[in-house]
């Protein structure tokens, strides 16, 4: 009698091969169609993004130049007792603008270098009425290049600035002066700009002559690139194909300030992205293994299902933590070997778990100590400096976290201070945090402005960031002599200011992109003035997004309430009071995010008597 155990692998192999081939062909066809559509949609978004970026750059440059001239003209007029036509004409020549109009507080033009405009009511036309906001609280306004309300045959780009005597002054460019003003700037806009890897941006004027081109064809007609844009047949913002510099490309165009901006990306690059995506077989594997699991179960259920269920029952007990469970299924050779392997693996796993628990506990304790030692922890940190007081705290959600704060003097009169929040938690976030903290301090101490510190740190953190991590940062420089704070924001929560009178307000600014989000991002700096007794309160989203058992968020409103209520609290207790209020709100719910706070109170300039 043959007592050798039966093998089922041969039957499995034949059917498994057939099923794998069938599933592979089906998923490959699906991926090809899906990724083709996705690649085209991504191309449209990429072209739009680059066009909007260039368009905004041109508009900002144009607005800034004209507003600067108008402000200078307003200063001249504020210094005179009488506004005469001769003075306006002289200012036109001096500042090289097309015309100047002076409008009284009723919105009527009472002086102009263009006589036909005299006594014109600004509120009577759609274009001119835009400037009425200067009589309703705004102090400056810039308009795009367009036909004027008084005469549609005349096109101007105007800027307006309030006058001290009431009303406002309006200075404008005609087309030639407008082009002269921004042509130099526009020429360099596309030089170092890429769309994808091999694409480019082209800017042409109203005569279809190239103004800016990475290939150096400025002054030539757009036709030299191979592009021909029929504005009647080709809608702005729609994708079309054309041969550009001998390569078939996807193209899109839009108009801005008298220019046509064209974005171009080779179709071969789009196709390459699709081909790479198709090569990623994640979706295919899910479908293939799901189908294989069902078919294999049908084919072999009479032979192996009962034994598999027995093994699964044992494995379920093991996965629940009952590691003393023994697998004992031996009806076939394969199952006997599997049982032995599982039992051996569980024994090894138990040893590894015991060793790993001890090792991990020690390593995490060391990592936490290292991380906290890297942050300032002695308060007051500068006992000999009476101009300000500063206090900070950090409570991590895990043994180590991704939040951090820092402060240090970059010269005798300027204190750099910051708060930041790294994406993710645990060891990876802590490592990324240490890198970011070191870079920020290094660049700040080198003498860079706060905006340049964030710009350089962003580019450095983007290098080799395969994990896709990022960090939000709010960083400021306090002038201890004047109380002025120069700051920049890389996607972080805006701080709150509690003034000496107890009122609380948010520090307003336009946040930039997070650090390590995208290379070559330029960050802008802003300033605020702290008065004696003002407290600047910085925090991470672990404060406002603390969640209780009802899934309710703590929120900025509760934070503001604490700052407004605790007016008698000094700088040393403010962070503790906020943390206590957060803990009371959260209750027994677990802490899901790091909670980090920094408070800075401005007191007196150095040397001033108390």
Quickly tell me which residue has 């920020």 as its tokens: 440
Predicted confidence (pLDDT) per residue in 218-273, tens digit:
888 988 888 888 888 888 888 898 899 888 999 989 887 677 889 898 988 887 76
110: phi then psi, degrees, rounded to nearest 5:
-110, -10
Q: What pLDDT does residue 609 have?
A: 43
Q: How far apart are alpha carbons 186 and 219 in whole angstroms?
A: 13
Beta carbons of 74 and 161 less than 8 angstroms apart: yes
Distance CA 515, CA 131 (A): 38
Residue range 259-306, pLDDT digits in tens:
788 989 898 888 776 777 677 666 666 776 677 666 665 666 556 666
Q: How many other CB atoms sit within 10 Å of the CB of residue 285?
A: 13
pLDDT value at residue 571: 87
Give the model's pLDDT for residue 512: 93
Question: How many alpha carbons fall within 13 Å on the CB side of residue 486?
Answer: 19
- Could you check whether the bond before residue 346 is cis, i.e. omega within 30 degrees of 0? no
Nearest to 342 by CA among 366, 367, 372, 307: 307
pLDDT reported for residue 589: 92
Q: Which residues of the chain have pLDDT under 70?
A: 1-14, 16, 20, 175, 177-185, 187-189, 257, 273, 277, 280-285, 288-289, 292-307, 309, 357-358, 360-372, 399-400, 606-610
- Domain 189-271 listed as CATH 3.40.50.1820: no
Q: Are 96 and 66 in contact (CB under 8 A)?
A: no
CA 369, 541, 423 angle in degrees (round to 5)?
65
Scored b (16 or more CB within 10 A) or e, 236-250 reads eeebeebebbebebb
Domain locations along the chain: 189-271, 302-373, 378-602
pLDDT at 603: 92
pLDDT (0 to 100) of residue 13: 64
The reported pLDDT for the residue numbered 1 is 46
pTM above 0.85, yes or no: no
Contact 65, 182 (CB under 8 A): yes
Domains 189-271 and 378-602 share a fold: no
Task: Give pLDDT, residue 175.
Answer: 66
**373 to 78, 369, 370, 402: CA distances (angstroms):** 58, 6, 5, 14
Query: What CA–CA distance (Å, rounded) separates 202 from 214?
Result: 8
pLDDT at 188: 67
Instruction: Give the pLDDT confidence score for residue 599 in this predicted structure.
Output: 96
* CATH 3.40.190.290 given to domain 378-602: no
pLDDT score, position 350? 74
């Amino acid at each position: 009698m043959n007592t050798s155990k039966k093998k089922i692998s041969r039957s499995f192999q034949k059917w498994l091969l057939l099923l794998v081939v069938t599933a592979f062909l089906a998923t490959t066809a699906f991926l090809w169609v899906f990724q083709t559509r996705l690649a085209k949609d991504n191309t449209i978004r990429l072209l739009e993004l680059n066009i909007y970026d260039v368009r905004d750059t041109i508009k900002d440059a144009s607005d800034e130049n004209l507003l600067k001239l108008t402000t200078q003209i307003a200063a001249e007029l504020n210094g005179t007792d009488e506004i005469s036509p001769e003075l306006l004409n002289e200012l036109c020549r001096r500042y090289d603008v097309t015309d100047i109009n002076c409008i009284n507080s009723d919105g009527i033009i009472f002086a102009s270098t263009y006589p036909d405009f005299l006594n014109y009511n600004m509120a009577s036309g759609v274009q001119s009425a835009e400037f009425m906001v200067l009589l309703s609280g705004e102090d400056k306004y810039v308009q795009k290049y367009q036909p004027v309300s008084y005469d549609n045959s005349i096109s101007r780009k105007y800027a307006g600035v309030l006058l001290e005597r009431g009303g406002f002054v309006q200075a404008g460019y005609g087309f030639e002066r407008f082009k002269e003003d921004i042509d130099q700037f526009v020429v360099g806009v596309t030089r170092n700009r890429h769309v994808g890897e091999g694409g480019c941006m082209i800017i042409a004027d109203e005569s279809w002559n190239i103004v800016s081109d990475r290939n150096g064809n400025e002054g030539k007609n757009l036709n030299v690139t191979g592009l021909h844009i029929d504005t009647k047949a080709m809608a702005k913002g729609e994708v079309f194909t054309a041969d550009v510099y001998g390569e078939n490309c996807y193209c899109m165009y839009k108009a801005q300030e008298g220019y046509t901006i064209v974005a171009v990306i080779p179709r071969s690059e789009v196709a390459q992205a699709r081909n790479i995506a198709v090569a990623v077989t994640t979706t295919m594997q899910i479908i293939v293994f799901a189908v294989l699991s069902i078919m294999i179960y049908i084919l072999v259920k009479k032979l192996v299902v009962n034994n598999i269920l027995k093994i699964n029952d044992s494995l379920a007990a093991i996965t629940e933590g009952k590691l003393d469970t023994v697998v004992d299924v031996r009806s076939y050779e394969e199952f006997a070997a599997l049982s032995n392997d599982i039992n051996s693996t569980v024994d090894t796993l138990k040893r590894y778990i015991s060793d790993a628990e001890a090792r991990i506990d020690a390593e995490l304790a060391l990592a936490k100590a290292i991380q906290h030692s890297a942050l300032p922890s002695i308060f007051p940190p500068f006992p000999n400096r009476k101009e300000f007081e500063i206090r900070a705290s950090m409570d991590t959600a895990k043994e180590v976290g991704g939040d951090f704060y820092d402060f240090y003097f970059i010269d005798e009169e300027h204190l750099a201070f910051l708060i930041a929040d790294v994406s993710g938690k645990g060891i990876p976030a802590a490592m990324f945090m240490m890198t970011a903290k070191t870079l920020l301090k290094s660049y700040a101490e080198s003498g860079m402005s706060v905006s340049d510190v964030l710009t350089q740190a962003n580019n450095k953190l983007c290098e080799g960031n395969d994990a896709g991590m990022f960090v939000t940062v709010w960083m400021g420089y306090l002038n201890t002599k004047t109380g002025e704070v120069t700051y920049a924001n890389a996607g972080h929560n805006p701080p709150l200011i509690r003034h000496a009178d107890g009122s609380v307000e948010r520090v307003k600014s336009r946040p930039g992109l997070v650090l390590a989000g995208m290379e070559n991002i330029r960050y802008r700096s802003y300033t605020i003035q702290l008065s004696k007794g003002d407290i600047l309160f910085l925090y991470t989203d672990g404060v406002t997004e603390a969640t209780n058992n009802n899934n309710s968020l703590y929120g900025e409103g509760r934070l503001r309430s604490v700052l407004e209520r605790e007016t008698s609290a000094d700088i040393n207790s403010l962070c503790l009071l906020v943390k206590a209020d957060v803990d009371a709100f959260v209750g027994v719910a677990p802490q899901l995010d790091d909670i980090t706070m920094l408070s800075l109170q401005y007191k007196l300039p150095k040397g001033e008597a108390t």
